[in-house]
């Protein structure tokens, strides 16, 4: 595994895996990490959209140049590349659910970088016969998301646990497609073996959840007695997003398995267990 460990942690990596600490655009680290590999799961990116708005060129170096470095190195090794693309490529889509054939409408440098990386994956397949698969992740949630940019679910869970009000931006009627990380891992494994390469696939749950409904579900799952308050809408917030999973189902055999309520319940249970063991340690 190659990671510069700015948001990740060695503690979550299985002992059997070799960890190389380094950055993707750093040729030396990539050279070593990809020696003799058959498949690469390329997840590295600066995911903080605000940072890409402030620093388009610097973040492009990781998000796009880094992806090109991985693709070039994969050509040397004749390795397959499964890369993390994003639903951000679609922007505010006109038609719901969103199919992979929807036009790209990138609204931020992050979305431009992901659109180009996604497109390059197909060009490398066409031009150099490199087996590539781009997976367009919707809103991913699960354990161990850290840092200030870890998504609405971890924000709501932290607020409920701290006994603070849950803060909904705008009217809360905006919707998202929340997909559990276990399903994202399954999609990656299917992409590692599919014959249908040189293509992009949506990875979501196929279910729309409003942010207001999410706030109520988090409150129920944690049993917290906290109010739900509304704040100003976030500028440029996408109104609705939900994946059409027909292509991923037909060609990859991908089917989401974790319901949002179950995923949230296990996150709150996990947290309670961790808090208990912290106290007894």
- Rounded to whole angstroms, the Cα distance separating 82 from 240 reads 27
* CB closer to ligand UD1, 81 vs 84: 84
Instruction: Report the interface residues with ligand UD1, using CB under 6 A.
Output: 47, 49, 86-88, 110, 138-140, 149, 151-152, 155, 167-169, 174, 176, 211, 234, 237
Q: Please tell me which residue in 90, 110, 124, 137 is annotated as part of the active site.
A: 110
Q: How far is the CB of 169 from ligand UD1 (least distance, A)?
A: 4
Which residue, 33 or 202, has its beta carbon nearer to ligand UD1? 202
Pairing of strands 80-86, 132-137: parallel
Q: Which is nearer to ligand UD1, 47 or 258 (CB)?
A: 47
CA–CA dist 94, 166 (Å, integer): 30
| Of 78 and 237, CB closest to ligand UD1 | 237
Q: Min. distance of Cβ 24 from ligand UD1 in angstroms? A: 18
201 is annotated as an active-site residue? no
Burial of 233: CB neighbours in 10 Å, binned 0-12, 13-18, 19+: middle
Q: Kindly provide the residue ranges of all beta strands, DSSP E only, lying in 161-257, ordered along the sequence.
A: 166-169, 175-176, 178-180, 199-203, 209-210, 228-231
Q: Are 240 and 209 in contact (CB under 8 A)?
A: no
As a whole number of angstroms, the distance between CA 266 and CA 281 comes to 22
Min. distance of Cβ 241 from ligand UD1 in angstroms? 6
Nearest approach, Cβ of 226 to ligand UD1 (angstroms)? 13
Distance (Å) of CA 72 to CA 27, 76, 77, 262 = 11, 7, 9, 40
For the bound state, the minimum distance from the C-beta of residue 81 to ligand UD1, rounded and expressed in Å, comes to 20
Residue whose CB is less far from ligand UD1, 110 or 120: 110
What lies within 8 Å, CB to CB, of 159 at 6+ separation is 165, 166, 167, 226
What residues are labeled active site? 110
């Amino acid at each position: 595994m190659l990671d510069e460990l700015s948001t990740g942690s060695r503690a979550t990596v299985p002992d059997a895996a070799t960890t190389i600490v380094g950055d993707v655009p750093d040729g030396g680290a990539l050279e070593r990490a990809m020696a003799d590999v058959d498949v690469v799961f390329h997840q590295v990116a600066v995911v903080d959209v605000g940072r890409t708005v402030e620093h388009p060129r610097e973040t492009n170096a990781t998000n796009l140049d880094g992806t090109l470095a991985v693709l070039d190195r994969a050509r040397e090794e004749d390795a397959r590349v499964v890369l993390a693309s994003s639903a951000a490529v679609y922007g505010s889509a006109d038609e719901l659910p969103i199919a992979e054939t929807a036009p790209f409408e990138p609204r931020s440098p992050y979305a431009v970088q992901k659109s180009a990386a996604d497109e390059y994956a197909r060009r490398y397949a066409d031009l150099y016969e490199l087996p590539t698969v781009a997976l367009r992740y919707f809103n991913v949630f699960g354990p161990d998301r850290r840092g200030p940019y870890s998504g609405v679910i971890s924000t709501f869970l932290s607020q409920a646990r701290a006994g603070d009000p849950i803060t909904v931006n705008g009217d809360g009627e905006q919707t998202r497609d929340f997909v559990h990380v276990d399903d994202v891992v399954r999609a990656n494994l299917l992409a590692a073996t599919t014959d249908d390469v040189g293509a992009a696939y949506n990875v979501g749950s196929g279910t729309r959840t409003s942010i207001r409904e999410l706030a109520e579900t988090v409150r129920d799952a944690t049993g917290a007695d906290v109010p739900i308050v509304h704040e100003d809408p976030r500028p440029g917030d996408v109104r609705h997003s939900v994946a059409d999973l027909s292509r991923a189902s037909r060609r990859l055999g991908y089917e989401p398995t974790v319901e949002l309520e179950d995923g949230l319940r296990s996150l709150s249970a996990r947290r309670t267990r961790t808090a208990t063991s912290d106290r007894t340690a």
